[in-house]
Amino acid sequence: MNCTVCGNPLIFDRVVFHCFCGAFVHAYCWDEHVLKAHQPSFEIGNVNLDGEFKASESKIEEVSEEQVSEEQVSEEQVSEEQITPLLE
């Protein structure tokens, strides 16, 4: 079995992450998988000595409830389509 991010083989007795989307990735490829495949919202900025976060760039998207329910339905349909029996 190979890592879905880098394509290199997953070595026996090494840490491997199994994502909820079905991907198997190396521990060092996990960040790249999450950022590229799932595109979570985030903010880039600085923390001052008082511990206050000052955002310089924001990737947070406003998502309505309708969009979330539509995305969940489409993800469920895709996951059902991807399930195929190994042996028939």
Query: In residues, how long is the chain?
Result: 88
Q: Determine the pLDDT at residue 43.
A: 83
Tokens (6 digits) for 8:
């290199």
Provide the whole-model pTM.
0.50
Task: Tell me the pLDDT tens digit for each residue of 29-88.
Answer: 999 999 889 888 878 889 999 989 988 876 655 544 444 445 444 454 444 445 444 454
pLDDT average, residue stretch 5-19: 88
Alpha helix (H) ranges present in the chain? 30-33, 65-82
Tokens (6 digits) for 20:
């909820």
Domain regions of the chain by residue span: 1-60
Q: Quote the DSSP letter at residue 46.
A: E
